[in-house]
Amino acid sequence: MAKIISLVNQKGGVGKTTTAVNLSTSLAQAGKFVLLVDLDPQANATSGLGVDPRSIEKSLYHSMVLGEHPGEHIIKLQTMGHNLLPSNRDLAGATVELVNLDNREYRLYNALRHVRTEYDYIIIDSPPSLGPLTINGLVASDEVVIPVQCEYYALEGLSQLLETINLVRDNLQPDLKIMGAVLTMFDRRNRLSYQVVREVKDHFPGRVFESVIPRSVRLAEAPSFGKSIFDFDLFSRGAKSYKNLANEILRTESEGESGFHL
């Protein structure tokens, strides 16, 4: 049974998609079977891995909203064992359509049930909101990873996010856990970055991943070539940091440690 992990932060531009793409690739390169689910209608994870969202006929929309078997929409990616359940603009309408559907918070959970046994990890890239799509992602997940950008106002919105996670846990998915926060776009020449690291560690004691993702032009360039950082620049600092993050998650797993309840 796959462990399902959602990358969530309602702020845009904090590194959710970059983390989803590169973490899932790295886990697959470590020999795991990994499905990346693109839950964002903007489809950045889809295009960032070289799949043109305009070229696909069926997307996550068809499994989530129309109830089709997701196996029919899954695409094999470059790394062996790395698959994608793609998104396209159809998913934008889902937010409205979901309101009128039965089990509207469980649509993604139900869709993933069909394929869950085929994978070790399912990584969900969420849109920048706490709306119905993200809620579906949380309900379908075992764990949440929160990317936090090393910038001004890094902590802004986090209490609202934690509140939403608690609501989901109390009402919809009692076993949902927070695996931790991952610091992104760390700039070692900027004193502010160090300050944010300290603040986030105070906020999530013992639950900040040791692997910190550096600000790196190579990480920002890779998606425009439709490649993960491992296929774009294997020896870059960005590649190394995402490999470390994947190893940390694999290590936690083998030690039998699990996430925490806030």
Our CB check for ligand ADP shows the closer of 127 and 259 to be 127
**Could you give the string, one character per residue 187-226, with x where binding to ligand ADP holds by CB under 6 A and - elsewhere?**
--------------------------x-xx--xx--x---
Our CB check for ligand ADP shows the closer of 88 and 120 to be 88
CB of 100 to ligand ADP, least distance (A): 28
Angle at which helix 237-254 crosses helix 16-29, to 10 degrees, equals 70
Q: Give residues 228-257 in contact with ligand ADP (rule: CB under 6 A).
A: none
CB of 30 to Mg ion, least distance (A): 23
- Asked if 17 is part of the footprint of Mg ion (rule: CB under 5 A), the reply reads yes
CB of 69 to Mg ion, least distance (A): 26
Q: Give residues 27-66 in contact with Mg ion (rule: CB under 5 A).
A: 44
3-class DSSP assignment, residue 188: coil
- Contacts of residue 189, Cβ cutoff 8 Å, sequence gap at least 6: none
CB of 109 to Mg ion, least distance (A): 21
Q: What are phi and psi of 212, to 5 degrees?
A: -110, 135
Ordered alpha helix ranges (H), 49-190: 60-64, 90-98, 107-113, 132-140, 158-171
Rounded-to-integer distance, Cα 90 and Cα 53, Å: 10
Angle at which helix 132-140 crosses helix 90-98, to 10 degrees, equals 90
Rounded-to-integer distance, Cα 200 and Cα 223, Å: 28
Tokens coding 7: 């990358």
Interaction partner, residue 67 (ligand ADP, Mg ion, none; CB < 5-8 Å by kind): none
Whether 3 contacts 121, CB under 8 Å: yes
Our CB check for ligand ADP shows the closer of 46 and 120 to be 46
Choose the stretch contacting ligand ADP; rule: CB under 6 A; options: 7-15, 53-61, 109-117, 162-170: 7-15
Our CB check for ligand ADP shows the closer of 177 and 215 to be 215
Q: Which residues bind ligand ADP (CB under 6 A)?
A: 12-18, 44, 128, 184-185, 213, 215-216, 219-220, 223
